[in-house]
């Protein structure tokens, strides 16, 4: 009998497995329907020996010392500040839009105050900022919105930015200085030996067993367990009883090229042309040295594995109905990007899992045999 069955070996499931096993001495079975741990953060060496991210570029960044310290138990880090270029009007320009972006695209020589005035002349005031279009148009005006955001967002999400919650494009700021970093968080690093190694360290514990290529449907019939942590899609757990929650998918095309480098930075976005949204070149992220280079093209799609919850009011309404069911499901905890239908970064999922663990500690007494196991492990 397992104390816990955990569905999903991504950040949500793995953090909880590690905490429950090491801090409460409980026996945990982690299952995943994929043939590997790590969820969407999984990385691997490809046929040429280059470390790539199977599910697109994953860059770790957080402002939380607590989350950074927690993950530092399982990895050393490589400092890395992410920079992105967008191909616009045939040029490569930095995004987030900043002073250099505007000066380069429009052949100007503005300073920060000049750029603030330039934006102010073009920005379209909005009484209320509700949508992903409002966020950008009200900050930089329609021209830059159309160049950088309209095409990319429509391609990525399959709907016009005016149909998406403001939180989507608000992830990308606008700056009047020359800071071209994609993130400004206090901690910006890549795991020194990759994410999969981090997950291996997290899940290597005598109280944790991992079963891959195992679907929840199969495990729930065949495994005896007391409590459940579920990090798959919440609508699937409830058999789509209120209908399907939309998740956006991607198709990844991985390639190794017989040249040292393809592009000047790790990620180049394509807001105006191409069926893919962006190309990622991994050696920039990992610091790996290799004569060849490996890249990934991301093609957005409605069908395929669920990767992104789609932030729109009507979807949140549907999610809230499922959440209500989830709250009354005894001995089950829903955690992670798919189970709580939130467009969360890795650090936010780790934070959510750690706070779920604290809630479990308050609400669920450790059973006596587990307490004995914790004492034995400590001795």
Residues that bind ligand UDP (CB under 6 A): 86, 95, 148-149, 152-153, 156, 168-169, 171-172, 269, 271
Tokens (6 digits) for 79: 């400092």
**Considering the complex, what minimum distance in angstroms separates the CB of residue 163 from ligand FAD?**
20
Pairwise CA distance, residues 230 & 134, whole Å: 35
Q: Which one among 74, 119, 216, 297 touches ligand FAD, defined by CB under 6 A?
A: 216
Binding mask 349-378 for ligand FAD (x = CB under 6 A): x-----------------------------
Give Cα 281 distance to the centre of its chain: 18
Residue 55 interaction partner, one of ligand FAD, ligand UDP, none, beta carbon < 5-8 Å per kind: ligand FAD
Pairwise CA distance, residues 120 & 331, whole Å: 53
94 forms part of the interface with ligand FAD (CB under 6 A): no
Tokens (6 digits) for 191: 């795991």
Cβ-Cβ contacts under 8 Å for 290 (sequence gap 6 or more): 48, 49, 50, 283
Residue 307 interaction partner, one of ligand FAD, ligand UDP, none, beta carbon < 5-8 Å per kind: ligand FAD
**Considering the complex, what minimum distance in angstroms separates the CB of residue 148 from ligand FAD?**
19
**Considering the complex, what minimum distance in angstroms separates the CB of residue 1 from ligand UDP?**
39
**Considering the complex, what minimum distance in angstroms separates the CB of residue 296 from ligand FAD?**
9
- Report the b/e string of 334-359 with b at 16+ CB within 10 A: bbbbbbbbbebbbbbbbbbbbebbee
Q: Which residue has the tokens 């592009």?
A: 263
**Considering the complex, what minimum distance in angstroms separates the CB of residue 25 from ligand FAD?**
23
Q: Are 140 and 106 in contact (CB under 8 A)?
A: no
- Identity of the residue, 242 or 308, whose beta carbon is nearer to ligand FAD in the bound complex: 308
Burial class of residue 234, CB neighbours in 10 A (0-12, 13-18, 19+):
buried
**Considering the complex, what minimum distance in angstroms separates the CB of residue 33 from ligand UDP?**
23
- Identity of the residue, 13 or 161, whose beta carbon is nearer to ligand FAD in the bound complex: 13
Q: Would you tell me the crossing angle of helices 346-363 and 65-72 to the nearest 10 degrees?
A: 90
**Considering the complex, what minimum distance in angstroms separates the CB of residue 38 from ligand FAD?**
7
In which element (H, E) is residue 142 found? helix 142-144
Residue 269 interaction partner, one of ligand FAD, ligand UDP, none, beta carbon < 5-8 Å per kind: ligand UDP
From 52, 57, 85, 84, select the one nearest 290 (Cα to Cα).
Answer: 52
In which element (H, E) is residue 52 found? strand 51-53
From 175, 260, 193, 198, select the one nearest 37 (Cα to Cα).
Answer: 198
Residue 70 interaction partner, one of ligand UDP, ligand FAD, none, beta carbon < 5-8 Å per kind: none
Pairwise CA distance, residues 4 & 230, whole Å: 10
Which window, 49-57, 137-145, 159-167, 186-194, contacts ligand FAD (CB under 6 A)?
49-57
Q: Which one among 10, 25, 194, 309 touches ligand FAD, defined by CB under 6 A?
A: 10
25 forms part of the interface with ligand FAD (CB under 6 A): no
Residue 86 interaction partner, one of ligand FAD, ligand UDP, none, beta carbon < 5-8 Å per kind: ligand UDP
Q: Which one among 24, 27, 58, 283 touches ligand FAD, defined by CB under 6 A?
A: 58
Residues at the site binding ligand FAD, with contacts judged by CB under 6 A? 7-13, 31-34, 39-41, 55-59, 215-216, 231-232, 250, 307, 336-338, 344-347, 349
């Amino acid at each position: 009998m397992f104390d816990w069955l955990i569905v999903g070996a991504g950040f949500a499931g793995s953090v909880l497995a590690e905490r429950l096993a090491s801090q409460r001495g409980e026996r945990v079975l982690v299952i995943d329907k994929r043939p590997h741990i790590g969820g969407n953060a999984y990385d691997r060496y490809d046929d040429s020996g280059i470390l790539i991210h199977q599910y697109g570029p994953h860059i770790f960044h957080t402002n939380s010392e607590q989350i950074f310290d927690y993950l530092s138990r399982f990895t050393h880090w490589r400092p890395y500040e992410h920079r992105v270029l967008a191909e616009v009007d045939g040029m490569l320009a930095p995004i987030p839009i900043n002073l250099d972006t505007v000066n380069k695209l429009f052949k100007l020589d503005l300073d920060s105050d000049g750029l603030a005035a330039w934006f102010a002349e073009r920005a379209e005031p909005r009484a209320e900022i509700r949508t992903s279009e409002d966020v950008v148009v009200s900050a930089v005006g329609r021209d830059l919105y159309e160049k950088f955001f309209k095409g990319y967002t429509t391609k990525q999400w399959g709907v016009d930015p005016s149909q998406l919650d403001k939180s989507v494009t608000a992830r990308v700021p606008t700056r009047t200085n020359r800071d071209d970093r994609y993130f400004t968080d206090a901690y910006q690093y890549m795991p020194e030996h990759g994410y999969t190694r981090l997950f291996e360290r997290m899940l290597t514990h005598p109280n944790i067993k991992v079963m891959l290529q195992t679907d929840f449907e199969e495990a729930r019939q065949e495994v005896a367990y007391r409590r459940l942590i579920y990090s798959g899609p919440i609508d699937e757990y409830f058999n789509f009883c209120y209908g399907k929650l939309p998740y956006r998918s991607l198709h990844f095309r991985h390639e190794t090229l017989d040249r040292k480098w393809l592009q000047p930075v790790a990620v180049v976005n394509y807001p105006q042309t191409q069926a893919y949204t962006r190309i990622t070149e991994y050696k920039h992220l990992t610091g790996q040295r290799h004569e060849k280079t490996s890249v990934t093209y991301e093609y957005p799609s409605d069908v395929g594995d669920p990767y992104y919850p789609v932030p729109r009011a009507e979807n949140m309404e549907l999610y809230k109905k499922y959440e209500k069911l989830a709250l009354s499901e005894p001995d089950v905890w829903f955690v992670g990007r798919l189970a709580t239908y939130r467009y969360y970064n890795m650090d936010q999922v780790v934070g959510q899992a750690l706070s779920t663990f604290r809630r479990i500690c308050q609400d669920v007494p450790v059973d006596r045999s587990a307490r004995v196991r914790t004492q034995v492990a400590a001795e």
